[in-house]
Structure 1
Amino acid sequence: MSADQLTRLLAALAVGDSERVSVCHDFGGTFTPTLGTAATAPARAQPFLEGRANVWFGVNPLSPDATGRGAASDVTRVVALWADLDVKAGGMPDRDACDRVVSDLSGMLRAQPVAVVDSGHGVQPYWRLEAGDVHVAARLVARFRWLVELVAGENGGTVDNVFDVSRILRVPGSVNVKDPGSPVSAVLDHLDTDAEVVTLDGLSDVLLSYGIRDVPATPDAGPGATLVDYSGPTYGALEPGVRSRVDAWADAPLREHLAALDACREAKVDGWRPGMPGPAWNDTLWRACCRLAEVAVAPWSGLGLEDVGRLVLEHAPRDARFTDAFVRTTWLRAVEHVAAKPVIAAPLELEPGGALVEVDFWQERESLRTIHGWARARMASPWAVLGVALARVITTVPPHVVLPPTIGSQASLNLFFALVAASGGGKGAATGAARDAVVVSGEVYEREAGSGEGLVKQYATRTKGGVERLRDAVLFDISEVDTLASMSARQGSNLLPVMRKAWSGERLGFAYADPTKDIPLDPHTYRLCAVVGVQPERAGGLFAEADGGTPQRFVWLSAVDPTIPDAEPDAPEPWVVSEQRWPSDFGGRHELVVPQVAVDTIKAAHRARQRGEAKALDGHALLCRAKVMVALTLLDGRRVPTEDDWRLSGVVMDESDRCRTGIEEALSKVAERSVVSRGRSDGVRAAVAEDAQHEARLKRVKDAVLSKLLPEWQPVGKVRKTLASRDRAAFDDALALLVNALDAEVNDGKVRNR
């Protein structure tokens, strides 16, 4: 046979005569590579074409420094895309299927092959590739593998991973002796020197349209690959108690990402427009596959790759092109991507002996290490110091910066923290440490909270000329929950309802009979954060408001540190938070961009609540987590949250859940004790009786006012005069209660019932 076919193929691939290419042969089990110019390649191949040797050539030119057959780092230019379609068990089913793959790929690339080699056991098509940066081209070739895998799967087959840029392929005109008992000829079956050239940008667009995005290059790996950087125990070696902890944690991302895939299926989103923004199916599927593969390939995990892959296939959405083969290919691609990376850490460390140690959240970032160092130096709880620091960071963000309308409307960043400890248990130390540990831009205006009206008056006041704005941001520091509870317990108090509205960024104001007394704050025009000291057994006032959503709006963190060391280390340098400049881009507001996994999780939870599957106390948990995510992002000196910020916010909220559960248990014990002992002093009884009389009078007046209201508007003064003179002093308070309860409406000095 003649080496002329190799000459014609190299010319069709536009390989210059002076460029270096490899020619390799395997004779009798001995592999021998040679290097030389393209001009000499046919002569180097010729002696072995008639013999019983396998002969290959390097597709891409190599540098003068290359040795052996050459490595990927030696490639100077990527001249083509290629595929190696073998008809074999575990490969392509037949030659017709190979031809269909070549045809389908050519249609996707909008280019016909410049050459097709019949390898004797299949086909090897080549498409000319535009000259460009060799590293960019190499990454595109690695991604092209998955397009070939996808199309092969849709035609009933699979392909081998032969997409490294130093790849050698069969020399046309040689003999294929893969099976020594049945040698077959490899021939140049098709040559079209006028075929279109595939551009790098065009190839990138095609790959993206099929969900094949750029990921860090990984070595050939798969479900059986050796995982690097891991010396811990396997799942089977864990003790039962440890194993249950691992199972609980691994189940969380499984449920989260399968719910996101279910949401795509239910929404019937078109995920196939290249560059489509938002929750495109391919984006959601890739994130789910990578995250679940990370957990499934870890030796400490009880999740199996086969089981998780089957679940992904069951839950993934479908359309005309979102096929089983596409989903399966995406899953396998994700497995290979993560299998060559270090094993991810669970939120617990598994030592070689199987012992369980909580992962050090504080070593995740320099900002967190700094906060932890200051907490240790000042003998304060790291969690409490973090809570105060995050509240201070959010207080510096202008109120027009909002979360996007994932559910309903835009959401405020206003954030509340409850620091839990016995009286004198550490809130003051945490507050002082946070001020010194984290330096924020601008002044943080701090005040104690009073009534609901008092909160509003920190932002604005009414003068003869109208409403005068004082400031946009306040951090309310409430040293004891008793203060909050006692004020909210007063008849007619509106403190907690106002705080609930403020957490959501709603309009604040009060329906006075005299409109000149109102001080309105429009939505998202004020920043309100709060830090409250909570003694567990005195938190009943807040938890009594669970139906109104009060405890759900707080992040609960312990101000007690059971791991406090015997000796205090020196404090590190303070952490300086980068100043951010915030534009206005939508109705005077700036919507933050949040990671899609957060959006998917929030929407899935909302569906669960609508279906009655979520507990009432967890109604605002994910929105609270989203606010914490933004706070952690800003603390780190960035403006755009990432999936890692979302992950870390989950750690904070897990701590909050543990702390909140402890309070609920403490309140349960208090309730049990109160059944046994209900004695009160005479003074307390008198105070209670006096309060009861006041409440009874206010209720009587409120009922009287309600009975006088009509569906039609009538002057407020006219309704006031219908009351007995002894009751008119309580008219304004009674009317305010009716308005807050949505039983009455006041406008321009007139009132009506609702």
Structure 2
Amino acid sequence: MNDLTIRAAERYDETGWQVVPVNGKTLAVKGRTGRTGSTESVMPTGNQNIAIRLPRGVIGIDVDAYGDKPGADTLRRLADKLGPLPETDRSGSREAPSGIYLFRVPEDFESIGELPGIEIIQHHHRYMVVEPSIHPDTGQTYRWETVGETPMWESGPDALPKLPDAWADFLRKTNAVVPQRRSEDATDDFLTGGVPCDEVTRVLDRYNDRTGNGESRYGSMIAAQYRLMKLGEDGHPGVGTAMDTLEGLYLSDVDGERDATGEFNRGLTGLYLIADEPLNDGDPCERDPRILPDRLWNSRDSLRHIRTAAHAQTSSADVVLYSTLARLSSAVHHGVRVVTGVKSPASLNLYVAVVGRTGAGKSSGGSASRDVLGDIANPEYRELGLGSGEGMIEAFMGDVFEETGETTKDGKPKVARVRKQVRHNALFVVDEGHELNKVMERTGSTVAPIMRSAWVGETMGQANARQENSRNLPAGSYALGLIVGYQVNTAAALLTEDEINGGTPQRFLWAWATDPNIPRKRIDHPGELKGHALDGSFFPGNVPPLMHFPDDLKDQMWEYQWKRATSEESEENPLDAHSNLMRAKVAALLALLEGRYDVNHEDWELSGIIWDTSCAVRDFVHAEAIETAKREKERASAERIREAERTALATTNIGAKNKQLAKALTKKVEDSGGIGSSELRKTLHSKKRPLFADAIEYAETQGWVSVDENGFITPVK
């Protein structure tokens, strides 16, 4: 036991908090918790951690917002329903919003126990591990995040803010009213009726996959319940049936080890308390798959902000989001990488192909993303067009003067102009994709291979013998984004067999420029998005971070790559070859939009929605290209047939004329007894002379005349 832990435990006890020792997070003593436990402190010994048991009149709202735990979303939903919570001190070993938030309540107050991703710590229920304890799983130190300079706990429980009345009424156990659960004919709550759609059944498949891989059965069940609730809110059919199926699976998996029915029903009770009414805007399974669904936009404040900003400018929300991610990828510190557990840490460089009909707002949607992020403070950042592969490299270059190591006659150092990298951030915007197509089609063009290298952050260019002509960007020395506007027919140039084999279209997110959800009435712009992570001062020690995925997602990506590397499985669609890497980039950028440098399960889930929607746009363009090529082939074939018919008809007509002319010429040969070809030809009208050779050939093949080697024609008797 170190002195710091001893002093901390004594300080908690002196300021009115009951101390209890824990091994890791497990209570190390008996008779000190629950409704009848003693309120006397017990000091930790050895390597034990410190926990405190809350007094009556204090509750802790314990939010789990890491991995796929939905505590942050539940907290947001409750704030929307009940109003914001007052600022208070937070204790935890993870980044906010995870942690325990303390509030004063009446001494006789008793709360419900749990909500999705949130548990309520009370005098009789649980305890909280506190600073300077060490989390047994992550090795992170528990710490207090205080509102003021002095931690509230040091002034005792009375210093805590009061839980607002609306929250107290909602959480009070005696007030919690939960509708009777129904599994059939559920039409007015999230347990929707009908046959489960594919989206709903995939939740059950995911539960089976997780438990089959040894993940927590309880955690997998809670995650599946929550996902089903969100699908029910979106109006997907069959959620009631799927929830019943999930219960059966969970009870079978636990198989009497504990009160599985009680665990399942408590989770369901929490869903009822936070769920919104299902949307009533048609079957979500029949929505346009090229447009991002409402469940993505409603999942986070940052995404709702971007959608509102887009609609305030009558722009496609999808285009503005994708463009914002590309802009973010180009403006973030070039050293930021995401660790997927597969190969080297990946760059965040992102490309977006905005596809739409003429007048669909492809360019305006991209420019609207500027108003979302505001001015980029990075002085090295540039935004420019793209004319060639070398131009992409040149955007990062500049002239500098460096000492050569030599001196002038008067002893001053000689300097020479050198071409080298002078910046690290650039966004390339091409309003008309057909211009980029022209560049790519030029003989010897390097734009496509350079684009492919830049997407993964590899070395670009080459070092020339003359330094002033060198264009070389080392791997990892730059951050960039690319936004290209296409019409449907011009976007097809990215989807040719050569480009697919080269890997170009696989490196693009595809956005549909039409947005049927733009409101009819004008709405106000919400202003710049706050809280995103573009400021380099966020880096501890000014060192850009490596962004990590949770270990289970790293394992998932490793398994995916292993199967393909060992030929265990092959990619069914070559256009999906970079799906995991693309999703990793998008997930990391979504985390940065939230001001986080760690990637969680929700980021990954949302990246999957974006990927699926992007694929729908890409596949639509590809299908249109194939159909257009098919129609062109059919048109060309029909034209060839028509030409053949015209030729056959002409041949038929010419043959009849030749036959008549051959008979006439034969008569002349017979009358003359023999005649030379030139002389016989001259007997014809000038218009018929071009037919002479064919007519004589026809007469000869019919055995009417004979032509010798000198061209003399005689009749055949």
State how far apart, in whole Å, the 1-side matches of 2:519 and 2:489 are.
27
Partner of 1:425: 360
Partner of 2:371: 436
Contact persistence 1:436–1:574 (CA under 8 A): yes
Residue 376 and residue 672 in structure 1: after superposition, are their counterparts in 2 closer, same or farther (change >3 A)? same
2:420 maps to which of 468, 476, 479: 468
State how far apart, in whole Å, the 2-side matches of 1:424 and 1:236 are.
39
Partner of 1:341: 271
State how far apart, in whole Å, the 2-side matches of 1:347 and 1:485 are.
47
State how far apart, in whole Å, the 2-side matches of 1:513 and 1:324 are.
73
Contact persistence 2:452–2:507 (CA under 8 A): yes
2:221 maps to which of 289, 301, 318: 289
Residue 365 and residue 518 in structure 1: after superposition, are their counterparts in 2 closer, same or farther (change >3 A)? same
1:554 matches 2:508: yes
Residue 419 and residue 136 in structure 1: after superposition, are their counterparts in 2 closer, same or farther (change >3 A)? farther
State how far apart, in whole Å, the 1-side matches of 2:219 and 2:555 are.
11
Contact persistence 1:449–1:478 (CA under 8 A): yes
Contact persistence 2:20–2:27 (CA under 8 A): no
Partner of 1:301: 239
Residue 371 and residue 359 in structure 1: after superposition, are their counterparts in 2 closer, same or farther (change >3 A)? closer
State how far apart, in whole Å, the 1-side matches of 2:59 and 2:259 are.
18
Structure 1 position 662, deviation (Å): 1.6
1:135 matches 2:58: no
Instruction: Kindly report which structure 2 residues correspond to 1:379-390, keeping only aligned pairs within 5 A, or say none.
Output: 379-390=314-325
1:251 matches 2:201: yes
Contact persistence 1:582–1:590 (CA under 8 A): no
Residue 562 and residue 109 in structure 1: after superposition, are their counterparts in 2 closer, same or farther (change >3 A)? closer
| 1:454 maps to amino acid | G
| 1:669 maps to amino acid | E
Which SS does the other structure have where 2:188 is aligned? coil
Residue 258 and residue 436 in structure 1: after superposition, are their counterparts in 2 closer, same or farther (change >3 A)? same
Partner of 1:397: 332
Instruction: Kindly report which structure 2 residues correspond to 1:400-411, keeping only aligned pairs within 5 A, or say none.
Output: 400-411=335-346
Structure 1 position 109, deviation (Å): 5.5
Partner of 2:395: 458
The number of residue pairs the alignment matches comes to: 486
Deviations 1:172-231 (A, max 9, x none): xxxxxxxxxxxxxxxxxxxxxxxxxx99759x9999779xxx9x999699xx98469x97
Deviations 1:79-133 (A, max 9, x none): 999xxxxxxxxxxxxxxxxxxxxxxx9xx85557799xxxxxxxx9989974675
State how far apart, in whole Å, the 2-side matches of 1:353 and 1:612 are.
35
Contact persistence 2:333–2:544 (CA under 8 A): no
- RMSD value, Cα: 5.3
State how far apart, in whole Å, the 2-side matches of 1:651 and 1:333 are.
30
Structure 1 position 429, deviation (Å): 1.4
1:533 maps to which of 463, 469, 485: 485
Instruction: Kindly report which structure 2 residues correspond to 1:2-17, keeping only aligned pairs within 5 A, or say none.
Output: none
Structure 1 position 562, deviation (Å): 3.3
1:573 matches 2:510: no
1:634 matches 2:588: no
State how far apart, in whole Å, the 1-side matches of 2:306 and 2:429 are.
20
Instruction: Kindly report which structure 2 residues correspond to 1:133-532, keeping only aligned pairs within 5 A, or say none.
Output: 133-135=52-54, 201=129, 226=180, 232-233=188-189, 237-238=193-194, 243=195, 247-256=197-206, 258-262=208-212, 264-265=213-214, 287-295=219-227, 301=239, 304=242, 307-308=245-246, 333=263, 336-337=266-267, 339-342=269-272, 349=279, 359=294, 361-442=296-377, 444-461=381-398, 466-510=418-462, 518-532=470-484
1:602 matches 2:521: no
Structure 1 position 636, deviation (Å): 3.8
State how far apart, in whole Å, the 2-side matches of 1:111 and 1:225 are.
39
Which SS does the other structure have where 1:445 is aligned? strand
State how far apart, in whole Å, the 2-side matches of 1:513 and 1:206 are.
56
Residue 371 and residue 129 in structure 1: after superposition, are their counterparts in 2 closer, same or farther (change >3 A)? same
1:612 maps to which of 569, 574, 589: 569
Which SS does the other structure have where 1:403 is aligned? strand
Residue 129 and residue 288 in structure 1: after superposition, are their counterparts in 2 closer, same or farther (change >3 A)? farther
1:591 matches 2:526: no
1:652 maps to which of 606, 610, 626: 610
State how far apart, in whole Å, the 2-side matches of 1:586 and 1:449 are.
35
State how far apart, in whole Å, the 1-side matches of 2:351 and 2:628 are.
25
State how far apart, in whole Å, the 1-side matches of 2:506 and 2:302 are.
27
| 1:556 maps to amino acid | W
Contact persistence 1:237–1:354 (CA under 8 A): no
Residue 432 and residue 532 in structure 1: after superposition, are their counterparts in 2 closer, same or farther (change >3 A)? same
Most deviating of 483-492 and 304-313: 304-313
Structure 1 position 416, deviation (Å): 0.9
Residue 569 and residue 310 in structure 1: after superposition, are their counterparts in 2 closer, same or farther (change >3 A)? closer
Contact persistence 1:349–1:359 (CA under 8 A): no
Residue 414 and residue 205 in structure 1: after superposition, are their counterparts in 2 closer, same or farther (change >3 A)? same
Contact persistence 2:52–2:128 (CA under 8 A): no
State how far apart, in whole Å, the 2-side matches of 1:472 and 1:207 are.
38
| 1:612 maps to amino acid | E
State how far apart, in whole Å, the 1-side matches of 2:605 and 2:523 are.
29
Structure 1 position 356, deviation (Å): 8.0
Contact persistence 1:558–1:659 (CA under 8 A): yes
Contact persistence 2:326–2:483 (CA under 8 A): yes
State how far apart, in whole Å, the 2-side matches of 1:606 and 1:339 are.
40
TM-score, normalisation: structure 2: 0.55
Residue 345 and residue 626 in structure 1: after superposition, are their counterparts in 2 closer, same or farther (change >3 A)? farther
Deviations 1:29-88 (A, max 9, x none): xxxxxxxxxxxxxxxxxxxxxxxxxxxxxxxxxxxxxxxxxxxxxxx998999xxxxxxx
Unaligned runs of 5+ in 1: 1-75, 82-104, 116-123, 144-164, 169-197, 266-280, 317-322, 680-754
State how far apart, in whole Å, the 1-side matches of 2:610 and 2:277 are.
12
Partner of 1:744: none
Contact persistence 2:331–2:480 (CA under 8 A): no
Residue 109 and residue 392 in structure 1: after superposition, are their counterparts in 2 closer, same or farther (change >3 A)? closer
Contact persistence 1:385–1:433 (CA under 8 A): yes
State how far apart, in whole Å, the 1-side matches of 2:442 and 2:504 are.
17
Unaligned runs of 5+ in 2: 1-15, 43-50, 64-106, 111-125, 143-169, 233-237, 288-292, 401-415, 638-717
Q: Which has the larger radius of gyration?
A: 2
Partner of 2:635: 677
Contact persistence 1:78–1:129 (CA under 8 A): yes
Structure 1 position 289, deviation (Å): 2.8
State how far apart, in whole Å, the 1-side matches of 2:447 and 2:485 are.
16
Structure 1 position 595, deviation (Å): 4.5
Residue 673 and residue 305 in structure 1: after superposition, are their counterparts in 2 closer, same or farther (change >3 A)? closer
Which SS does the other structure have where 2:369 is aligned? helix
| 1:232 maps to amino acid | D
Contact persistence 1:595–1:643 (CA under 8 A): yes
State how far apart, in whole Å, the 2-side matches of 1:354 and 1:617 are.
26
Which SS does the other structure have where 1:418 is aligned? strand
Which SS does the other structure have where 1:533 is aligned? strand
Residue 370 and residue 407 in structure 1: after superposition, are their counterparts in 2 closer, same or farther (change >3 A)? same
Partner of 1:178: none
Residue 135 and residue 521 in structure 1: after superposition, are their counterparts in 2 closer, same or farther (change >3 A)? same
